[in-house]
Structures are given as structure tokens and as C-alpha cells.
Chain A
Amino acid sequence: MSVLVNKNSKVIVQGFTGSEGSFHAQQMIEYGTNVVGGVTPGKGGSTHLDQPVFNSVEEAVESTGADTSIIFVPPAFAADAIMEAADAGIKVIIAITEGIPVKDMMKAKPYIKEKGATLIGPNCPGVITPGEAKVGIMPGFVFKKGRVGIVSKSGTLTYEAADQVAKAGMGVSTAIGIGGDPIIGTSTKDAVQLLMNDPETDAIVMIGEIGGNYEADAARWIRENGNQKPVVGFIAGQTAPPGRRMGHAGAIVGGADDTAEAKMRIMRENGIHVAESPAEIGAVMAKALGVEVQ
């Protein structure tokens, strides 16, 4: 089981021959991810990192049977690449690219939904199922195999959480970096739902930040569905001033409901174990699961 990506995922890399694409494709291959090829328009027919390069996602899917794509295409062309993947029948699309115009994503999102694809990101570190597949840019060694699922808007904070979970004697089933943009393909709630339904996941770490209503929606959903598994929550940006964008395009306090304080309150009200400090994520999870910290 596990969610989104596993050892059977056949992965193609869009933006395969670019510097980012090459570097991370190499890292993924070394991790053991089943990378079956890549797409760079105009370079079809060549070979890169011992894998075939195709002109289009359609060709790549036809010839490799790929079902998963990771996108490193520059922002101006990334929404187009996402839609191309969905049109070609890719089921899981993971968009790493940061800085895609909002208007482009606004059009791409309903398009891919109609095609039946799941989009993770953009502006995200990707997805990893430890020991099976890494489809992202995260350092694989940080993620020890285990039974805690992670959902996060942030890259390095995900690594931090995975590291603390490991140091507290647990491991990760699947970690999903959903991304820090205002419009993303998979919401916190969608990702939590996947992990709630995953028999290999016993508990969930949910990391959010200021801006938007995703964490509050997820918290309410968790409660409505009977708090089936323990969830530990952390919200970054308690000290962020209103109206200022904090790095991520989506990390901006717009009203009274999207502050860290409000989100933490809503999480508590819905039975989520809230870590006040980012240094406590692992400890709070250990406590929630009754694990003795090593």
C-alpha cells in the first residue's frame, strides 16, 4: 500500500535535461525510484542518464507505460506541462516548480481534475514513500521507513519533522509536500484523507502555515470522520506580521481566520495534538502514540 507513490510507480521527469531536472532525476534513480524516462520537447530520441528522452508526455506514456510525472519545467511553461501530463493520462503529477503565475494555475487545476489526475504542488518538495520511491527533491536518508504519514506545505520543515519522528524512534509511511502556493492541486484535507485511508499509516503529522483555510478544513474533516488516527499539527508563522508575504507565495495573513493562532485553535478544537514549538513535533507524536522516546 502506502499512498501516491510506491515501488511500482513508473516515473517520468518533465524538464529532464535541464540542470534541476538532471540533478534530481539522478538523485531519484540513486534512491531506487523507478524512473523510466523523461520529456524535453525537441530532444526526443536521445538518451539522458541512461533513460530515453521523449518530445511529449504522450509519447513517453505510450512507450514506457509511465503513470507518474515529476515536473521541473520553468514557471512560465509549468502549467502547460502539468496539463500535458494530465492529458496524456498520467495519474499522479508532482510539480516542483516555484513561481507559476496564479492565473495559469487557476486554469490548469479544473482541467486536470476533469482528466482524473492528482496534482501535488506546485512549489513543493514532492512525495516520498521511504524504501520504495522518492519522487521529489528531499534528502532521502532523512526519511526512515515507518508508520507515520506527513502532510506539509513546506520543504525543509518536512525534513525537520521526518528527522524528529525518526529520532523519537518512529518512521514515515509516506510524506507528502503539498506546496506553498495560493493554488495547489492537493489540499491538506485531500492529503490527510489519503493517509487516513492508508492501512500502513498509524498516525499523521500535519504541518501548515499562515494563509488560506486548508488546515482548518482538514481539522474539521478529521473530527467529522471520527479522529480515526492521532494527528499532530504544527503551524508556522505565529510571529509573522499581517499582510506580509513570508517567502511562500501563499504564506500571507489576509484576515482573522488564517493566522497561525486561529489555525492552531481550530486544530485543538478538533482533537488534533498541537505542537507549539517546531522542536516538539517528534515528541508530541511519540506522546500521542504512546512511544517511549529513545
Chain B
Amino acid sequence: MNIHEYQAKEVLKSYGVKIQEGIVADTPEGALEAAKKLNAETGTSWYVLKAQIHAGGRGKGKVKETDSNGVVLAKSLEDVPEKAKNILGGTLVTIQTGPEGKKVNKILVAQDVYYPGNSEPKEYYLSILLDRATGSNVIMASTEGGVDIEHVAETTPEKIIKEWIDPRIGLQGFQARKVAFKLGLEGNAHKEMVKFITALYRAYDATDSSQFEINPVLKTSDDQILAVDAKVNLDDSALYRQKNLADLRDLEEEDPLEVEAGKSGLNYVKLDGNVGCMVNGAGLAMATMDMIKLVGGEPANFLDVGGGANAQTVEAGFRIILQDPNVKAILINVFGGIVRCDRIANGVVEAYKSIGDINVPIIVRLQGTNAEEGAKIIDESGLKVQSAITLKEAAEKVQAVLAQG
């Protein structure tokens, strides 16, 4: 699960990580109030307005309606409401949102932390994430902060520092010191960075996160180390014991069909294609999508109905898929193991009838226990549904339907 920058920063702060302070607002007036409050609390006289959406590239991204960037600087209190107005309620398009963009409902009004002083401010990169190859967490750091880290990794891999954490003992002091030294820091800035890394790892561990990305981490002109941005990704499997964090979920950031599917216990991911599919098991569901592509279609979705495919789950699946106007055909692919195919076939017929008229061709492939009986029930139902038993047969029928379309 992803959370917004302003939420992530609050979480980090609660574990002692120093952050660029800010206050979230959802109206231009609210933004002005936030700026005034921030001025009183931090003394800042410039304000950074940051669109809060679950996607990166906001600074360079553009709001469709106003052409404003997703992150702008207001150099006076008077500037704040106008600049906030150009972002709030608009549709922000960044390299990560796709051309349709994302609606901005909130902005974070943040303090200016790039003020002049004894030394130059400098940006760094820090992340903590799960390294699947070693089954442990790894800290990644770089002196190349504020830029696209994947580009750094590709062009200058030597500039990426990696430190693996033993899961049973956690981050050790020498590891934090080593990373800070490798970043070229000394004196007070080094000490502050060690504190920053230590607190960040504590937060990561305590929140059951699977990824933290702080880009940039800023060394200010007076040698403080702050998180200027924060991307936090939580382990979905651990949300049951992270109630406070689970509450931070923003449903408006998610596809409404995916939210609806989730309520019916279905695992659904919306895609852009023309053939809907409903499958039992995640691996078979992905394989079915791939097969649709191989016969000339494009999958409209990923949908795993889980182990017990029955009339209720199939009906819920139909209702979700049919809301997608791009769907020109539906393939149901169920490998009936412990659940018998004849029962699943009856479930499909029941679900179809309960919905009424379905105007797209449906192919139902049932394999496993009582596959022939299942096919017979489908064929004799009198509905506009074709049966298949082998995967190959199902693929050919999808191909035929697409050719007619």
C-alpha cells in the first residue's frame, strides 16, 4: 500500500526522522492559513507547494487545466493562494501517471529548506527496500540526490552505495557510520546523517514497510539532514497489525473498479485491453492474459477469483468486467481441482441469468474434475456462451470471436 508524501513525512517524524516541515491543505484559503502557520513555526518566508498524488515526477509534471507544475515555489504569503489554486482540483500529468493524469485533492505547503548559510545545501539519495535475492533489507544511498536514481544505477553504478541489514539483528551503528562516510560527509553533517539513517531504519522496521525512498535527502547550509520528499510503501500482508497506517489508505488514488472488486473479495487489476478474463489462481490468471495477447487480443484485466469459484464470485466478477466499456469478449478460465467443473458451470449459468442480458461473447473453459459434464451444462444452457476444455481450444475460440468482431 502506498501513502501520500505528507502522510509519509508524519510517520517518519514520529520515529525521529528530521523532515522538511509542512502542513497539508485542500483549498487555496487553507493553503494560506497553512503558510502563515508554517511561517510562525519555522520562520520560513518562502513556501513550496507540492501536489499530493501517488506518483513521482510531480516537479516536472504539468497540471492539464492551468499548465502549473506539480511542485511550485511561492516567494511570499500573497502568492500562496493563487499558486495553490492552479494546482488544487486540477489533473496532474507526470511521467508516472500516464496521459490521463491524476486529480489533485490536496497540497502540502512546505517550508523552504534551501536557504543560504555557511555551506552549500547538497542533495543525497537514500532508500531502504527488500532485496529478494538475499531475503534481507538493503540500504541504498548515493551522492546523486534529487535525480532519477535508475538512471544513476545504469550509467554510474559505482555511485550507488549498498549496505545489507541482517534481519535478525537489524541495522548496526557501524553500518550507518559507513554509509554516511561513503557519502563523503564529515563533522556535524556526518553525525546528523548517522542519526537520520538510524531513525529511518527504525521507522522502516517498526512500520512493516517494504520500501522507503527519500529523494532528496538534504544537507542544509547549516548541516542539518532532512527528508525533503518521502515515498513509503507498506507491506500489505502486515496491515492487520498496522491499524493506524492502514487507515491512511486513500481510495481516491485507486481505480474505482479495483476498489469495488476488493469489496467482493476479488483480486482485480484494470488494464487497457479488449478481452476480459476471470480465472482461479494468480499464476493461471497471468498466463491467461498472456494467451489472450498471443491470439491477437489484449487483456482488459487481471482477475483472480481465488480457490472457490462459485455463482457468487462469478457474478461479482461479471459485474466488474462488464463495467469496462472496452471489453469485447470475456474468457472464464477455471481449473477445477477440488471444486468440480459441473458445479462451476452451474454457477456460471446462474450468474449469467441473474445479470440478464450480456452483450459480449463469453467463452468458458473448465478443466479438471467433471470437465465434460461442465462443458455440457454450458452448451445446453441456451445462453450465448461457448465451452472449452483445453487451454488451446479456449485460445482458438477467443481468436475466432476476435476475428468476427
Residue B291 CB within 8 A of the other chain? yes
Give 10 nearest A-B pairs by CB, closest first: A154-B283, A247-B282, A156-B281, A139-B337, A278-B287, A101-B238, A236-B286, A157-B283, A279-B391, A106-B167
Q: Report yes or no: A260 in contact with B283, Cβ–Cβ below 8 A.
A: no
Q: Which chain A positions have C-beta within 8 A of B284?
A: 154-157, 160, 236, 278
Contact residue range for chain B?
35 or more
Q: Report yes or no: A159 in contact with B337, Cβ–Cβ below 8 A.
A: yes
8 Å CB interface, B266-315 against A: 267, 269, 271, 273, 279-294, 298-299, 302, 304
A27, A76, A212, A246: which contacts B286 (Cβ < 8 A)? A246
Residue B235 CB within 8 A of the other chain? yes
Q: Which chain A positions have C-beta within 8 A of B290?
A: 236-239, 260, 277-278
Q: Report yes or no: A156 in contact with B335, Cβ–Cβ below 8 A.
A: yes
Given known A-B contacts A27-B338, A260-B290, A152 and B283 have beta carbons under 8 A apart: yes
CB distance from A80 to the nearest CB of B (A): 13
Which of B107-115, B131-139, B194-202 is near enough to bind chain A? B131-139
Q: Report yes or no: A142 in contact with B368, Cβ–Cβ below 8 A.
A: yes
* Bitwise interface map of A from 179 to 216 toward B, beta carbon under 8 Å scored 1, else 0: 01011000000000000000000000001011111000
Q: Which chain A positions have C-beta within 8 A of B279?
A: 156
Q: Report yes or no: B167 in contact with A107, Cβ–Cβ below 8 A.
A: yes
CB distance from B124 to the nearest CB of A (A): 22
- Nearest B residue to A177 by beta-carbon distance? B283
Residue A285 CB within 8 A of the other chain? no
Residue B381 CB within 8 A of the other chain? no
B210, B237, B267, B287: which contacts A234 (Cβ < 8 A)? B287
Given known A-B contacts A27-B338, A156-B281, A249-B237, A106 and B135 have beta carbons under 8 A apart: yes
Q: How far is the CA of A277 from the CA of B290 in the complex (A)?
A: 7
Residue B65 CB within 8 A of the other chain? no
Residue A32 CB within 8 A of the other chain? no
Residue B243 CB within 8 A of the other chain? no
Q: How far is the CA of A153 from the CA of B286 in the complex (A)?
A: 12
Residue B367 CB within 8 A of the other chain? yes
A-B contact pairs, 22 of them (CB 8 A): A76-B240, A101-B238, A102-B208, A106-B137, A137-B338, A154-B283, A160-B335, A163-B335, A209-B282, A210-B286, A217-B133, A236-B284, A239-B273, A239-B289, A239-B293, A240-B286, A241-B269, A244-B269, A245-B269, A251-B286, A277-B290, A278-B288
Q: Which chain B positions have C-beta within 8 A of A107?
A: 167-168
Q: Which chain A positions have C-beta within 8 A of B292?
A: 239
Q: Report yes or no: B237 in contact with A75, Cβ–Cβ below 8 A.
A: yes
Q: Report yes or no: A101 in contact with B235, Cβ–Cβ below 8 A.
A: yes
8 Å CB interface, A257-294 against B: 260, 276-280
Most buried by B among A103, A237, A255: A103
Residue A99 CB within 8 A of the other chain? yes
Q: How far is the CA of A281 from the CA of B298 in the complex (A)?
A: 21
Q: Which chain A positions have C-beta within 8 A of B287?
A: 154, 157, 160, 234, 236, 278
Q: Which chain B positions have C-beta within 8 A of A255?
A: 150
Residue A116 CB within 8 A of the other chain? no
Q: Which chain B positions have C-beta within 8 A of A213?
A: 132-133
Q: Report yes or no: A209 in contact with B283, Cβ–Cβ below 8 A.
A: yes
Given known A-B contacts A160-B367, A182-B132, A277-B290, A103 and B235 have beta carbons under 8 A apart: yes
Q: How far is the CA of A226 from the CA of B295 in the complex (A)?
A: 35
Given known A-B contacts A154-B284, A213-B133, A247-B267, A76 and B241 have beta carbons under 8 A apart: yes
Q: How far is the CA of A164 from the CA of B368 in the complex (A)?
A: 11
Q: Report yes or no: A251 in contact with B282, Cβ–Cβ below 8 A.
A: yes
